[in-house]
Amino acid sequence: MGCAWLDIYGLILAAMSILQPPRDEQISAGIVLAILAFTVTFLVLGILTISIKLMSIGVSRFIGKKKVQTPPSTEVETPVSVEVRTIHEVSPEEVAAAVAAIHRYLTEKTLAPTTPKPLTSPWVLAWRMDACINLNDYDYILKSSKMRRFKKYLI
Amino acid sequence: MGILDAINAFLTKSGIAGMTPLHAILISIGLLLIYLAIAKKVEPLLLIGIGTGMVLANIPFAHLTFPGNPKLGTPPGPLFVIYKMFIENELVPLLIFLGLGALTDFRPLIAQPYTFLLGAAAQLGVFVAMLGALFMGFNLNEAASIGIIGGADGPTTIYTAVQLAPYILGPVALAAYTYMALVPIIQPPIIRLLPKKHRAVKMKPPREVHPLEALLFPIVLLVIASLLVPRATPIIGMIALGNLFRESGVTEVVERLSKTAANELMNILTILLSVTVGATMSVDIINYYSTITGMTPAEFLIKFALIFIWGLLAFTISTFGGIILGEVMYFITRGKVNPIIGAAGVSAVPMSARVCQKEAQLVDPSNYIIMNAMGPNVAGVIGTAVAAGVYIEYVLTFYEVHLGVIPWRLH
């Protein structure tokens, strides 16, 4: 069979050949690479942290300056008098009425909505849909004397 | 020629007659991936394509990934042509970064720039797994490609593997996407190692970011990261361009370019990428690369299994790295940083941020840290890109200096 390489012995041999550590220079290069990549990643992201922070500070100052530079409005601000309402006493009857009203409101709100009665019978509706699809039939229906009495349903 | 001879000739040319155990194994894996994608919802957007690509490419005599033979005038198979045109020259992974940039909102990161460091710490698995694979016996280029799985960023993994070890692109990409889908299973046990008190920390929601900051961010990112690590420029540049489309504020650009990059283009590229990556795990491609690198099909299968083991370890160690720095930040800030958000530094946007949120709510249901976790989450994408840039630069230089050539590029 042309797949002799896939027997167990072949797989073991393949595993053995893979699991043999590569040359020393590859391992030493790998260690250097790991340290280098770790350092560079932290360094670059650290620099980005500082840069983005500085950018944010710069933008907030720029926006602040822009806000200061806007000319003051010429309109004279008039103080708005605020009326302080006195809290009036609520009688127990008023509370009871409010509770009853809220209860009624919630009951009515939770009721299932009623479905409106259809204005057109289903067969007329189907007829209209069919008429929309096939205009020739629709014309025929409009022109035929027998169907003329149904014209009012069609438009 | 009698009818029996004709039937016999027909049967010998059928796929069943040409089926070898390797074909059968690879087709079975492809079918398993399709099942996982559809029934278990494991990265369905990618695994359906990868699984189908694997099945298609391994149908005997269909030769969809046949490299072609110019001497005999045999043309290459369609999937091989797509692989050569779109994947091997890194076109599709780079365009995917454009879409990712257009999709990603960097505001949580801009609001909390210190989370960049969590994104860097969560690359720990990238370095440790690379060393582990190297000591186990993988070559430096293969070990670097395997290590990048720990970054939990699919397109970066594909980009690195294409540059450093295209012959193991399929298993590496598959491991990356599988573990990204398994984030909700892998990360929680590691996060729960943190003390309950630390996990219950409520963080301030990130501040509102001014549109000008969001606009300047991709430009600052592009200039700084590209100048420091030029090899990462294609990845960072595309992310920055996509994000610039998004944040430009120009209605035409946002409505047309940004939306196209994030939706239609991204979807087309996902189809191309997934099917072609699946097709690289085919007998034809293994044979094609075995003539260049000397790797036998049996070795490929062993490496396939080992890559999955190292991928899982890389992912786990990266999560550890993130939460260790999160814990350090917890102590430095005297309990203002929830260390869980460190786990989100392993990219896998937005899955790992969601896992952090879920874990925080397990301790305190009123705790919302998802927006805080999105900072390290998107920082992880940049961290993985930087690490990939360093790996590519160093490994290619190593082979050029020691061997004078880059073996897997000799075709």
**A/B interface, count of CB pairs below 8 Å:** 152
Q: How far is B264 from chain A (nearest CA, A)?
A: 31
DSSP string, B42-66: SSHHHHHHHHHHHHHHTSTTT-TT-
The pLDDT score that the predictor gives to residue A148 is 63
Identify whether B49 is part of a domain. Answer: no
- pLDDT, tens digit (0-9, with 9 covering 90-100), for B125-173: 999 999 999 988 888 999 999 999 998 888 999 999 999 999 899 899 9
- pLDDT, tens digit (0-9, with 9 covering 90-100), for A32-50: 999 999 999 999 999 999 9
* A22, A42, A52 ranked by CB distance to B113: nearest: A52
Identify whether B355 is part of a domain. Answer: yes
Q: How far is B41 from chain A (nearest CA, A)?
A: 32
- pLDDT, tens digit (0-9, with 9 covering 90-100), for B221-262: 999 999 999 989 999 999 999 999 999 988 888 889 999 999
The pLDDT score that the predictor gives to residue B4 is 86
Domain that holds residue A129: 120-155
A154 to chain B, any CB pair closer than 8 A? The answer is: no
What's the structural domain count of chain B?
1
Identify whether B177 is part of a domain. Answer: yes
Phi, psi of A36 (to 5 degrees): -60, -50
Mean pLDDT of the residues in chain B: 90
Contact B391 A37 (CB under 8 A): yes
Interaxial angle between packed helices B211-228 and B370-402, expressed in degrees from 0 to 180 and rounded to the nearest 10: 20
Identify whether A64 is part of a domain. Answer: yes
Identify whether A97 is part of a domain. Answer: no
Q: Phi-psi bin for B131: left (phi > 0), alpha (psi -120 to 50), beta?
A: alpha
Phi, psi of A145 (to 5 degrees): -65, -35
DSSP string, B261-327: HHTHHHHHHHHHHHHHHHHTSSHHHHHHHHHHH---HHHHHHHHHHHHHHHHHHHHHHHHHHHHHHH
pLDDT at A2 over 50: no
Mean pLDDT of B354-362: 92
B131 to chain A, any CB pair closer than 8 A? The answer is: yes
Identify whether A124 is part of a domain. Answer: yes
The pLDDT score that the predictor gives to residue B179 is 87
- pLDDT, tens digit (0-9, with 9 covering 90-100), for B28-50: 999 999 999 999 888 888 899 99
Among residues of chain B, what percentage have pLDDT more than 70?
99
Mean pLDDT of A66-91: 62
The predicted model scores a pTM of: 0.77
Mean pLDDT of B197-209: 91
Identify whether B174 is part of a domain. Answer: yes
Mean pLDDT of the residues in chain A: 73
Give me B362's structure tokens.
Answer: 């397990």
AA identity, residue A57: I
Task: Give Cα separations from B203 to B122, B342, B378 (angstroms).
Answer: 20, 13, 18
Residue of B112, B302, B400 to mutate, interface with A, max A Cβ within 10 Å: B302
Identify whether A145 is part of a domain. Answer: yes
The pLDDT score that the predictor gives to residue A1 is 44
The pLDDT score that the predictor gives to residue B410 is 65
Alpha-carbon gap, residue B317 to B119, rounded angstroms:
13
AA identity, residue B100: L
- pLDDT, tens digit (0-9, with 9 covering 90-100), for B252-288: 888 899 999 999 999 999 999 999 989 999 998 888 8
Interaxial angle between packed helices B140-147 and B370-402, expressed in degrees from 0 to 180 and rounded to the nearest 10: 170
Identify whether B70 is part of a domain. Answer: no
Mean pLDDT of B334-342: 93
Identify whether A76 is part of a domain. Answer: no
The pLDDT score that the predictor gives to residue B71 is 82
Identify whether A96 is part of a domain. Answer: no
Identify whether A50 is part of a domain. Answer: yes
What's the structural domain count of chain A?
2
The pLDDT score that the predictor gives to residue B16 is 85
The pLDDT score that the predictor gives to residue A68 is 61
The pLDDT score that the predictor gives to residue B294 is 80
Contact B155, B93 (CB under 8 A): yes
Domain that holds residue B139: 96-409
Q: How far is B195 from chain A (nearest CA, A)?
A: 26
AA identity, residue A77: E
Contact A41 B386 (CB under 8 A): yes
Mean pLDDT of A5-31: 73
Contact A36 B225 (CB under 8 A): no
* B109, B127, B140 ranked by CB distance to A37: nearest: B127
Note which residues in 62-91 of chain A have CB less than 8 A from chain B: 62-63
Apex CA B351: angle with CA B196 and CA B310, to 5°? 90
Contact A30 B134 (CB under 8 A): yes
Name the more confident of B379 and A107.
B379
Alpha-carbon gap, residue B399 to B393, rounded angstroms:
10
Identify whether B289 is part of a domain. Answer: yes
Mean pLDDT of A74-78: 58
B137 to chain A, any CB pair closer than 8 A? The answer is: yes
- pLDDT, tens digit (0-9, with 9 covering 90-100), for B169-185: 989 998 998 888 888 88
Identify whether A144 is part of a domain. Answer: yes
pLDDT-derived band at A147, boundaries 50, 70, 90: low
Apex CA A52: angle with CA A51 and CA A54, to 5°? 65
Mean pLDDT of B360-371: 91
B397 to chain A, any CB pair closer than 8 A? The answer is: no
Name the more confident of A142 and B28.
B28
AA identity, residue B252: E
The pLDDT score that the predictor gives to residue B182 is 85
The pLDDT score that the predictor gives to residue B221 is 94
The pLDDT score that the predictor gives to residue A72 is 57
Mean pLDDT of B373-401: 93
Contact B221, B213 (CB under 8 A): no
Which value does ipTM take for this structure?
A: 0.87
Note which residues in 22-61 of chain A have CB less than 8 A from chain B: 22, 25-27, 29-34, 36-38, 40-53, 55-56, 59-60
